[in-house]
Amino acid sequence: MTYLADYYCDVLIIGNGAAGLSLALRLAPYYQVIVLSKSQINESCTFYAQGGIAAVFDESDSIESHIEDTIITGAGLCDVNIVKFIVTNARKCVQWLINQGVSFDQESHDATNGIIRYHLNREGGHRYRRILHNGDYTGRVIETTLIHQAIKHHNIHIFEHTNAIDLIISDKLGILGKRRALGAWIINNNCKKIKTCFARAVVLATGGAAKVYQYTTNPNVISGDGIAMAWRAGCRVANLEFNQFHPTCFYYPQAQTFLLTEALRGEGAWLLRPDNTRFMPDFDHRAELAPRDIVTRSIYYEMQRLGVNHMYLDISHQSKNLICKYFPTIYKKLLTFNLDLTKQPIPIVPAAHYTCGGVIVDLHGKTDVDNLYAIGEVSYTGLHGANRMASNSLLECLVYSWSASEDIINNLPNFTKIKSLPDWNNVQDINKEELTIINNNMHELQSLMWKCMGIIRTTKQLEHAINRILFLQQEIGKDYINFHFSKNLLELRNILLVAKLMVQCALKRQESRGLHYILDFPKLSKIAIPTILVP
């Protein structure tokens, strides 16, 4: 049988972080897999993750405690069944990762009896130490290990510097029956030629949408692509009003933002005002180990009250040996700015970090469209509720890559025969003037979202944001229709759509809960339900 495509595979995975690569490795013994990476293969949120993976490995801890901590942090919006499903399957999925070659810091290793005792960090929202880690560069270890394994496998083909433009969906081709995914239109950033990739199943593993904000801890490639493509394909989305801001990002105007892991506070770091006094005990009995939404709003409140542009994080009262052992990357990085983590407080400020909502999926990562899956940060599973608990995100990636692989292995459909595809005009280069306009629009959007859809919002701000977003969408519509493609234009198109969905979700939630704090509705509603948008 001949297919009218430039590429075909059994499973097309769009995204190259922990979720996408873990799934690729689980599927590779059975099927041909293509993995798309927007940049070089190691450029993902996973690579920059400092913290680790939450799982019950300590004798004093329990699955029930992990479940309860997650639900409390989620502010009443977690799906209890999903939380139980993920936490219960945590240990075996972490063990799979260890079997791939990922190493975690150990306290002891009894080689005779094969008993390993891991060093476990504690982070905000966790009552126990349950964060497996490798120093303060856990994500880098996970990503590089998975890449090494994927490159070796003959059934995994990695396309670097390649964007997915849109999904190929059956009903848009006039194919009768239930809507299903058939592949994607893709473009390599070097050759600039649009090609088709047919697949028996498509998986979105593109991460979140933190690039919608002016200040973010995420790499530049995280621009909401998967959420936007899924919405255009007909998938529902949920809870996009819950955008997590990491409380402690290094503040240095001349430097690119990088986060200072929550594990620092787990090891006793304090948050300080400019006068060196602590303030978190004034806001929550858990102090620096309160959930991130509380810590972030507390920092923001103190900055506004004092009229300053940052607070401080101080772990200098702990031993230099402990700091250098568990936070070597941060220690060395700060030294390049003449700051010594072992001797002085470090200036910090909140920044956009994690998208708690996303594409609605079931227990196997299946979306509303047949043969289309979404796993990792791009998805809405019900785990995080109104606020993600620290280090549950990599866990979600691992469990859903396993769960999705089980469904795909058992239920992968046959190829759908395609008679023809719509013609796509040749790509035209964008000139410098057009590129400047696109970049200016991106900067305007990011500034708009930071001011109007930030840590604290108002209805008036949200209404202003939605009106401005609609105008910007009209601005780029002409360029897109004329097929003046560029990576910047594709990202702007997607991030504008996701920004609109975020604001629409925020306007629908007339209460303050978790990460969504709106001055017009400061009280918590008695009924906790997810915010769902339908295309």
Q: How far apart are CA 346 and CA 248, in angstroms?
A: 10
The sign of the torsion formed by the CA atoms of 260, 261, 264, 265 equals positive
CA neighbor of 289 nearest in space, from 265, 308, 321, 267: 265
Asked if 292 is an active-site residue, the reply is yes
Answer whether 195's CB lies under 8 Å from 185's CB. Answer: yes
Which residues share a beta bridge with 35? 13, 158
The alpha carbon of 463 is separated from its chain's Cα centroid by a whole number of angstroms, namely 26
**H or E element at residue 21:** helix 18-27
DSSP state of 50: -
The alpha carbon of 94 is separated from its chain's Cα centroid by a whole number of angstroms, namely 19
* DSSP-assigned states of every residue in 300-368: HHHHHHHT-S-EEEE-TTS-HHHHHHH-HHHHHHHHTTT--TTTS-EEEEEEEEEE--EEE--TT-B-S
- Of 26, 140, 292, 509, the active-site residue reads 292
Alpha helices per DSSP H over 379-431: 392-411
DSSP state of 162: E
Q: How far apart are CA 378 and CA 85, in angstroms?
A: 19
Which residues are catalytic, by number? 292
